[in-house]
Amino acid sequence: MHIRGWTVRAAGLPMVLDDREETPLPGDAIVEVAGCGVCHTDLGFYYEGVPTRHGFPLVLGHEISGVVVGAGAEAQAWLGRKVVVPAVTPCGRCEACRDGRGAICPEQVFPGSDIHGGFATHVRVPARGLCPVPNLEDAAVNRAGLALSDLSVIADAVSTPFQAIRRSGLAAGELAVFVGAGGVGGFGVQIAAALGAAVVAVDVNDARLAAISLHGASLTLRGDLLDTKALKSKIRTFAGERGIPSWRYRIFETSGTPAGQATAFSLLAKGAYLSIVGYTGKKVELHLSSVMAFDATVQGNWACLPELYPEVVDLVLSGKVALSPFVEHRPMATINETFAEIHAQGAPRRVILVPER
Amino acid sequence: MHIRGWTVRAAGLPMVLDDREETPLPGDAIVEVAGCGVCHTDLGFYYEGVPTRHGFPLVLGHEISGVVVGAGAEAQAWLGRKVVVPAVTPCGRCEACRDGRGAICPEQVFPGSDIHGGFATHVRVPARGLCPVPNLEDAAVNRAGLALSDLSVIADAVSTPFQAIRRSGLAAGELAVFVGAGGVGGFGVQIAAALGAAVVAVDVNDARLAAISLHGASLTLRGDLLDTKALKSKIRTFAGERGIPSWRYRIFETSGTPAGQATAFSLLAKGAYLSIVGYTGKKVELHLSSVMAFDATVQGNWACLPELYPEVVDLVLSGKVALSPFVEHRPMATINETFAEIHAQGAPRRVILVPER
């Protein structure tokens, strides 16, 4: 199959539209891309020297939705299906996968790092992880009235906080604090609120905090303007008013910055839980013994297992997690300007690049 | 009841033998001390300004075994029983306790911090957490031939790593790494080996490593002489030879030092688990995002719930965990010299102070 993809020939150089041919191997699907979201991780690969596993030249992009238009042996049943492509597809066969540890499968496939990604007309991926999309024409299912391209951002920005929240054991009536209310953290706020948690969002950007206060955050705080003591005090008061003890605090670091990590760690309290969802290559100075003194837990979260995707799709289609106010569509041909713009000034909404037909 | 205790009137000043009267309140037991272990935590209170919760003057000491010689209402059944006094006794009634989170009970009682401790003829403690000691005269039970005073060190040095190991989910055939093979870590090595784990001990002291290599550590490494890369490589080789994948690594930080914490954290690998058992007031610089990239878990461990103590007593009496080579008895009147000596040069064996009768 003929594929045209926006190729990074070397980090930071303008991406160029390259042509290639791909043949689906057994178990592979070729997905015609409906949309591909631009993630902080892509900018890390492109601007900050974070290495892709495959190396350049490479097409980036791992938040992909589309239609299966080609399939190898054992994957023919997928032909014609609308799908979300998981950001991470474990192999399903290795020792880690058999132990239920697919997140650390050494054979996992991450489009835009292990293989050519979704900033392209098509992408060739393993069919085994694909998440089928229900009938979007059925208004009873697609209550949010979303297009297939919208669903691309499920494949990281929504699913990653979903798995982190699931793993944290967050339950209704508990406290969820998100440090970083951008692409990932903002959806985290919505998912936690949909579960019935009392949600606090901490960020350095008033516009993001204002937006998320309309979608689940009952308290928004400026992490850069309040010192640790004030921040802790406000959160303790908020929890106290709701009768939530500290061992029901679930804190999510979703900023991927050293300052955010220091803030999130400082919010630990007796019996609390901290999930590290964002990534930064930088170190941070911490009082690690707090974890012992507080009998607390810090857990990392890498992506989301494909088997959890259908629940995430349901949350989004049902409108319990609102996508539309937080995404923006642009023609894929704007990719170089879009990367530069987000790198320079951030993005108020997650950008979905849509290939020209 | 008349009690004579070695009282800290102010941090660092020689402890003096003070007399006091105590009457057991309902639920209280008065334990005649058979032995009281000297812990790193006591030195922290005495020399390093770590605050006790009660403040000085106070009798230190939280590793206590003895005989119940006085009892308040509701605790009469304990009279005459040989017991180990848990270092931490949760209240059993508060919201945290009802949620199974006794370790963070705000009403927990820690002798030698909340109340007068065990460097004394007697100690008054809540009876509810006491661990009954089986008949030490029965050679089938007390296969190790231990004295009641020996069992004092169960109440922290043995029980704390036991709970940390239990919580880590360590199973036979998995890898356990102890960073710090002193009082707590050394017993951790033995417990992990008794569970069938392959055990690595990392320390900065050859004598400690030599001793523990005879009691469960299959590989001993000098953490101060090897750089991180070499240390990781040796541990990976050791695990690889035994077919243990990285998500079955359980690392225990039992040194309570910033250097040990940095080492233990650097040993994290994909899916691994790190338990913070030791305490230091100092900060340490870490690449916290490793927890995310490795889908790893860091969990703190505060003491050991009283309900787990009987299992620990069994491990020790059965000889699966050897106490005798790792403890040393001294008259309690040597307390000031003993503290000074351990503070200055450490102790090759855990010192149990025995009151003069």
Interface contact flag, B277 A261, Cβ < 8 Å: no
Token pair 């569970």 in the structure block, residue:
B195
In angstroms, rounded to a whole number, what is the distance separating the alpha carbons of residues B49 and B282? 13
Neighbours of A116 (CB within 10 A): 25
What is the per-residue pLDDT for A214? 97
**Which stretches of chain A score pLDDT less than 50?**
none
Structural element, H or E, at residue B354:
strand B350-354
Helix, strand or coil for residue A212? helix
What is the per-residue pLDDT for B239? 98
B288 touches chain A (CB under 8 A): yes
Q: Give pLDDT tens digits for A226-268.
A: 999 999 999 999 999 999 999 999 999 999 999 999 999 999 9
**Among candidates B285, B287, B301 on the partner chain, residue whose Cβ is nearest the Cβ of A295:** B301
Residue B346 has pLDDT above 90, yes or no: no
Counting one residue from chain A and one from chain B, the pairs whose CB atoms sit within 8 A come to: 140
Peptide bond into A57 cis (omega under 30): yes
Find the closest chain A residue to B243 by CA distance: A95
How far apart are the CA of A292 and the nearest CA of chain B, in angstroms?
A: 4
Most B-contacting residue of A95, A99, A104, A304 (CB-CB within 10 A), to test interface: A104
A291 touches chain B (CB under 8 A): yes
Residue B289 has pLDDT above 90, yes or no: yes
Neighbours of B147 (CB within 10 A): 17
State chain B's mean pLDDT as an integer: 97
What is the per-residue pLDDT for B44? 92
Q: Give pLDDT tens digits for B142-189.
A: 999 999 999 999 999 999 999 999 999 999 999 999 999 998 999 999
Q: With beta carbons under 8 A apart, name residues in chain A contacting B295.
A: 101, 103-104, 300-302
What's the mean pLDDT in B305-325? 97
A280 touches chain B (CB under 8 A): yes
- ipTM reported for the complex surpasses 0.85: yes
Percent of chain B at pLDDT > 90 equals 97
Token pair 């059925």 in the structure block, residue:
A138
Q: With beta carbons under 8 A apart, name residues in chain A contacting B179.
A: none
Q: Which two tokens stand for residue A280?
A: 């930064």
In angstroms, rounded to a whole number, what is the distance separating the alpha carbons of residues B319 and B324? 10
For residues A181 and A252, the answer to whether their CB atoms sit within 8 Å is no
What is the per-residue pLDDT for A314? 97
DSSP character string of B96-160: HHHTT-GGG-TT-B-BTTTB--SSBSEEEEEGGG-EEPP-TT-TTT-TT---GGGGGGGGTTTHH
Strand partners, A3: A20
Most A-contacting residue of B288, B290, B304 (CB-CB within 10 A), to test interface: B288
What is the per-residue pLDDT for B236? 98
CA–chain centroid gap for A304, Å, is 9
Strand partners, B181: none
A96 touches chain B (CB under 8 A): yes
What is the per-residue pLDDT for A220? 98
What is the per-residue pLDDT for A38? 97
What is the per-residue pLDDT for A231? 98
Closest to A180 in 3D by CA, of A153, A194, A165, A200: A200
Q: Which two tokens stand for residue A10?
A: 């070397």
